[in-house]
Amino acid sequence: MKKLYYSIGEVSEITDIEPHVLRYWEDTFNELNPSKNNSGQRTYTDRDLKTVLRLKDLMHNQKYSTAGARKVLNGEQTDQEKHLLTMQRDLKEARYLLSKLLEKL
């Protein structure tokens, strides 16, 4: 059964991210902003959980820095992404030129 809210301990267990890292990410990333209940405990939603998993992927698997992960979350392109898009465009152009050359043969 899916829960509406998760505690910081549950999120830590699900994502394998230490609670102190989750609290740091809250301060660092505007996209991660769990609300607090009446007793002051953080309550994470499914959306918060997805954000934590996205941050984990960016920072632990893809090796983004904090600033790089922030850019990705804000929708900005990193230098690496710009380079990949340029390479994609160049490869498409090369494919087109090669297909035209093949037609002439």
Task: Look at 36-40, 62-66, 83-87, 89-93 and tell me which has the smallest mean pLDDT.
Answer: 83-87
Sequence ranges of the domains in the chain: 1-74, 77-105
Average pLDDT of the segment spanning 77-102:
83
Q: How far apart are CA 52 and CA 26, in angstroms?
A: 10
Q: Which pLDDT belongs to residue 39?
A: 92
Instruction: Classify domain 1-74 by CATH number.
Output: 1.10.1660.10
The larger pLDDT score, comparing residue 2 to residue 94, is at 94
**C-beta neighbour count of 89 within 10 angstroms:** 10
What pTM did the predictor assign? Answer: 0.70
Condensed to tens digits (0 to 9), the pLDDT of residues 28-43 reads 999 999 999 999 999 9
* C-alpha to C-alpha distance for 15 and 57, rounded to whole angstroms: 10
Check pLDDT > 80 for residue 79: no
Residue 77 has a pLDDT of: 63
